């Protein structure tokens, strides 16, 4: 064998190994995004199970606040549907609606001393608050992972492998202006 052939064979082997390393890194990121989404989905399902209990406890005390209870119930359904479809954009919008509904519900609950004193209500409110905090943490992890994925599929030489094998960018879980704006507490109590 000639030296030129050995060099060409060595260079081809190095390039093939490098391509495999890039591919494996992209696969790892793709699955990390999926895992981060699955972690969000777990919390969403837990919250999905808790919200009807909260609405039912509130319904017993807040008979004339049907609009708020209906808003929370409808938003819960929209969040679940978007989560089931894996529709990150719709999930962000549905989450904003649900947050507004829960904010209104908890603000209205302040007007009902018996409801505030109810052990089930207090437990469910605390549980939902814990789930909201966990969801916020998992949203952050998801967006960090998606950001890493999106950078990798746009960087050279990763983009060559990404385009060749259909690895693409993923959407961030973003929220509407209403959700990230400060809450107007006066409006909630009037």
CATH number at residue 89: 1.20.1440.20
Per residue in 103-138, pLDDT tens? 888 888 888 888 877 888 888 888 988 998 998 899
Most confident of 45-59, 66-80, 118-132, 145-159: 145-159
Q: Which residues are within 8 A (CB) of 89 and not within 5 positions of it... i.e. 6 or more apart? A: 171, 174
pLDDT of residue 35: 94
State mean pLDDT over 38-60: 87
Using CA atoms of 110, 67, 61, 112 in order, give the dihedral in degrees to the nearest 10. 20
User: Is pLDDT at 185 greater than 70 in this prediction?
Assistant: no
Predicted TM-score (pTM) above 0.75: no
**Token couple for 103:** 């904010």
Assign 3-state DSSP to the chain and report helix, strand, coil percentages, each to 5.
Answer: 85, 0, 15
Q: How confident is the model at residue 17 (pLDDT cuts 50, 70, 90)?
A: very high
pLDDT of residue 190: 42
Residue 142 phi/psi, 5° resolution? Answer: -60, -50
Q: What percent of the chain has pLDDT over 90?
A: 35
Per residue in 80-99, pLDDT tens? 898 888 888 888 888 888 88
Report the chain's mean pLDDT, rounded to a whole number. Answer: 85
pLDDT of residue 116: 76
Range of the domain at 168: 3-188
Q: Which residues are within 8 A (CB) of 142 and not within 5 positions of it... i.e. 6 or more apart? A: 33, 36, 37, 39, 40, 173
State mean pLDDT over 136-151: 93
Report the number of distinct structural domains present in the chain: 1
pLDDT of residue 108: 81
User: Is pLDDT at 101 greater than 80 in this prediction?
Assistant: yes
pLDDT of residue 64: 59
CA distances from 60 to 86, 88, 144, 155 (A): 34, 34, 42, 57
pLDDT of residue 21: 94
């Amino acid at each position: 064998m000639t030296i030129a052939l050995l060099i060409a064979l060595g260079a081809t082997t190095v390039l093939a190994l490098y391509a495999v390393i890039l591919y494996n890194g992209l696969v790892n990121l793709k699955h990390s995004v999926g895992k981060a989404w699955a972690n969000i989905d777990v919390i969403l399902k837990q919250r999905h199970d808790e919200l009807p209990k909260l609405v039912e406890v509130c319904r017993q005390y807040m008979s004339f606040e049907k609009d708020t209870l209906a808003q929370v119930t409808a938003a819960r359904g929209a969040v679940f549907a978007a989560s089931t479809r894996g529709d990150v954009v719709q999930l962000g919008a549905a989450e904003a609606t649900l947050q507004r509904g829960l904010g209104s519900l908890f603000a209205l609950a302040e007007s009902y001393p018996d409801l505030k004193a109810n052990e089930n209500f207090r437990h469910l409110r605390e549980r939902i608050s814990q789930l909201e905090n966990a969801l916020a943490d998992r949203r952050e992890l998801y967006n960090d992972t998606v950001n890493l994925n999106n950078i990798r599929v746009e960087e050279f030489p990763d983009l060559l492998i990404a385009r060749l094998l259909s690895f693409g960018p993923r959407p961030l879980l973003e929220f509407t202006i209403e959700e990230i704006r400060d809450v107007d507490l006066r409006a909630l109590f009037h």
